[in-house]
């Protein structure tokens, strides 16, 4: 599957929000009560993604197919993970991969690798020393992908969605 990468803009926000809702639900719907998942997904609006596209301290990278349709994206920006790994990041500049999602039909296409490479380059270009992310402990496919890209586990993160608290892990890649 051919693809190209570019920076997303506000006009891309509706498609990215839809891609997020579809991907998140497909991957995690079994973890949450239905009404809580639906409420969470309704909060993931195009306006929210448009704001992130325009925020100077965030980056939203979009992967498109040959037909211009969104196949996946990577969202980077600040996130308060340092409080879960006391002392680890003292004196260091760091950024977080907050989301990396693909449409199901884009898995295995090389797009995730391309998005990760671009995310690492963007983090370095902005002067960061480290790149962090969180991943649910049961998402073995994602964990293998991140480890293949040089991320190592450095802590635990209690991700909350509604009344559920997931056992997420914090992974770090020194840039």
- CATH 3.90.1150.10 is held by the domain 3-174: no
* Exposed e or buried b per residue across 21-55, where buried means at least 16 C-beta atoms within 10 angstroms of its C-beta: bebbeeebeeebeeeebeebbeeeebeebbebbee
Residue 31's nearest CA partner among 120, 131, 173, 139 is 139
Residue 168's nearest CA partner among 135, 140, 142, 146 is 135
| Ranges of each domain in the chain | 3-174
Q: Is the pLDDT of residue 70 over 80?
A: yes
For 9-50, write each residue's pLDDT tens digit. Answer: 999 999 999 999 999 999 999 999 999 999 999 999 999 999
Put simply, whether the predicted model's pTM sits higher than 0.85 gets the answer: yes
Quote the mean pLDDT of the chain.
Answer: 95
For 151-168, write each residue's pLDDT tens digit. Answer: 999 999 999 999 999 999
């Amino acid at each position: 599957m051919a693809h190209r990468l570019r920076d997303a803009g506000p006009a891309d926000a509706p498609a990215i929000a839809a891609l997020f809702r579809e991907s998140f639900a497909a991957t995690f719907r079994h973890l949450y009560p239905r009404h809580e998942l639906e409420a969470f997904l309704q909060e993931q609006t195009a306006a929210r993604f448009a704001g992130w596209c325009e925020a100077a301290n965030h980056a939203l990278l979009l992967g498109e197919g040959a037909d211009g349709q969104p196949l996946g994206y990577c969202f980077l920006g600040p996130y308060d993970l340092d409080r879960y790994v006391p002392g680890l990041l003292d004196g260091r500049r760091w950024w977080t991969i907050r989301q990396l999602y693909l449409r199901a039909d884009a898995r295995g296409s090389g797009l995730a690798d391309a998005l990760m490479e671009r995310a690492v380059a963007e983090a370095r270009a902005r002067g960061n020393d480290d790149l962090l992310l969180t991943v649910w402990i049961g998402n073995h496919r994602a964990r293998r992908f991140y480890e293949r890209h040089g991320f190592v586990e450095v802590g635990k993160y209690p991700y909350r969605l509604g009344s559920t608290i997931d056992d997420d892990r914090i992974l770090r890649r020194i840039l």
